Amino acid sequence: MTWRILEGDCSLAYMAGIIDADGTIGIKRSTYAMRRRGDATQPVFSERVCVKQVTPEAIDLLHETFDGYRFMAGPGSRNGRPMHGWQVTDLKAYGCLLAVRPYLRIKVAQAENCIALREVKERSKRARVAFGRGHAGAAVRPLELTDEMEAFAERAHLLNRVGGDAL
């Protein structure tokens, strides 16, 4: 991936600070295709980085740099202000985390957990896709890889738990 950042620019460190302070790094486990559509037998796991702030400047910088989804959210409290938000998932989240990882101070474990999930997802892709048949058809994900993904999702949940020690 190419970022709109010059070599030696301190923007990555700044954005890592934004993510450390006001961001969430996690893994979404979705069973929608299993429950509603019925066309899947296993959950889908997605890396996710999200930031919400009351002012748009940092959100705009993250969106301009890493693309993703820009949104407005309701206030966090009854008398609060609307929140500007930004989110990236899957490969864009992975790329974002690789870029800011050297500068993170607080959410290092969450970032490394998501990066490790991507590596398992890539192994899963190689295991499922059959090359050499004139097309790339997909098989069911091996159960041991699903179990690894479940473990990363559970760890993300524990790392992001509010109150008390996470691990």
Q: Cβ(15)–Cβ(61) under 8 Å?
A: yes
Q: Cβ(47)–Cβ(117) under 8 Å?
A: yes
The reported pTM is 0.85
CA distances to 13, 59, 90 from 148, rounded to whole Å, are: 31, 32, 17
Residue type, 57: E
Domains of the chain with bracketed CATH:
11-159 (3.10.28.10)
pLDDT digits (tens, 9 = 90+) for 105-139: 999 999 999 999 999 999 988 887 766 655 556 67
Q: Is residue 57 scored above 70 in pLDDT?
A: yes
pLDDT at 69: 96
